[in-house]
Structure 1
């Protein structure tokens, strides 16, 4: 289930404040490449839970 586009407009990467794009099961930062998981439709915006996403 895609996230509400209005939510994506206000969220930014907590590590570098870059823009996020929605990927399957994660939000990926376009600047630093960290991917934040989406669990039960809720983005988990914690740097400790992020993973480096090269794609």
Structure 2
């Protein structure tokens, strides 16, 4: 994932900061507890494509 792209991407729902999870290939918004998938190195920044994080997943975030 390109660091320059990560610097400018924000959550489409709340415009908040995103956390890159390289292992899961997702961009995570802690505020909304949403994980946006990255497919073929392209972030899919659509709310309907995001998955809701469980409380366990949320608690493990930095």
Same fold (TM over 0.5): yes
Moved over 3 A (4+): none
- Give the TM-score taking structure 2 as reference length: 0.78
Instruction: Identify unmatched segments of 5+ residues in structure 1.
Output: none
Pick 1 or 2: higher relative contact order, CA cutoff 8 A, min separation 6: 1
Instruction: Identify unmatched segments of 5+ residues in structure 2.
Output: 58-62
Q: Higher strand fraction: Structure 1 or Structure 2? A: 1
* Aligned-residue CA RMSD (Å): 0.9
Task: Give the Cα separation in 1 of the matches to 2:39 and 2:53.
Answer: 17
- Give the TM-score taking structure 1 as reference length: 0.86
Count, aligned residues: 53
Rg larger for: 2
Q: Higher helix fraction: Structure 1 or Structure 2? A: 2
